[in-house]
Chain A
């Protein structure tokens, strides 16, 4: 099946269209590319839950990467350890059973791959030239949105659980 069509079908079944007016083009394109990259490189058996715009988000772990330039943004992902291990194994196609260095590296590798492909797409379309900061991993943290915007929470459900992908524009 055509990946682009799958992505459109998955987003149509979510509240993506209802929220589009409240999102910048940058955020809506990020979500479309995220679903495409998950379909391409992780798993095709996915659905997108209710996308929300929040002022604060408490994450169990900080697995994040900043997109730098104008606009710049903070991206991250969060889930329970069990789900993170399964997602990392699904992406890396390796056996993983505990939340160790290789799991964390695989999660950040996916974030870096997706963010990279997203900024390449913007560059190819001559929209803007962005870059990426080195991915970060830390313990639990409270993410607060800047005064200018909200944190977009994109829950992507897999057969083994849900990963919350987060995006927050830092300037526009």
Chain B
């Protein structure tokens, strides 16, 4: 599969954060992007859409990103989940990795870092 065909799920309760992430993905050439605003919707969207990569915030209403990651990985152990959060504390990093996240990007998201992380998870 051409990695530009990859499907992305963005989950963040901030419209601005979703808009910024989506604009970055589009600037990399990705056009297949789904946006949701809480962890429960992320789990549901993952099950229906089977995205290639899920980008999840941590602090969100209804269901937080770490719990959503755990549930997504239970459903699909091969899921590629990347946490994107302003709260990159040692505890959250540990919890995210324990839940099965492949990487953690500290907000504000730097475009170069996002591209590097995506290249790594998509192309090995």
Q: Which residues of A contact B (CB under 8 A)?
A: 41, 92, 101-102, 105-106, 108-109, 112-113, 115-117, 119-120, 122-124, 129-134
Closest A residue to B59 using CB positions: A132
- Size class of the contact patch on chain B: 10 to 19
Q: Main SS of the interface on chain B?
A: loop
Q: Main SS of the interface on chain A?
A: helix
Contact A112:B91 (CB < 8 A) given known A102-B15, A134-B13? no
Query: Is B17 touching A120 in the complex (CB atoms < 8 A)?
Result: no
Contact A133:B15 (CB < 8 A) given known A116-B85, A117-B86, A120-B106? no
Give complex CA distance A146, B118 in Å. 46
Give complex CA distance A109, B19 in Å. 12
Give complex CA distance A23, B60 in Å. 31
- Give chain B nearest CB distance to A145 CB in angstroms: 25
Contact A109:B14 (CB < 8 A) given known A120-B87, A131-B87, A132-B59? yes
Residue from the list A101, A102, A116, A133 in contact with B86, Cβ < 8 A: A116
Query: Is B16 touching A116 in the complex (CB atoms < 8 A)?
Result: no
Give complex CA distance A122, B60 in Å. 21
Query: Is A131 touching B89 in the complex (CB atoms < 8 A)?
Result: yes
- Give chain B nearest CB distance to A121 CB in angstroms: 10
Query: Is A134 touching B60 in the complex (CB atoms < 8 A)?
Result: yes
Query: Is B89 touching A112 in the complex (CB atoms < 8 A)?
Result: no
Query: Is B88 touching A120 in the complex (CB atoms < 8 A)?
Result: yes
Residue from the list B16, B59, B92, B106 in contact with A133, Cβ < 8 A: B59
Whether B50 sits at the interface, judged by CB under 8 Å, is: no
Whether B108 sits at the interface, judged by CB under 8 Å, is: yes
Contact A113:B86 (CB < 8 A) given known A92-B16, A102-B16, A134-B61? yes
Q: A105-B14, A124-B90 are in contact. List 20 more A-B contacts (CB 8 A).
A: A41-B108, A92-B16, A106-B16, A109-B14, A109-B16, A112-B59, A113-B86, A115-B86, A116-B86, A117-B86, A120-B88, A120-B89, A123-B91, A129-B89, A129-B90, A131-B59, A131-B89, A132-B59, A134-B59, A134-B61
Query: Is B88 touching A116 in the complex (CB atoms < 8 A)?
Result: yes
Contact A130:B86 (CB < 8 A) given known A112-B14, A113-B108? no
Residues on the B chain within 8 Å of A115, using CB: 86
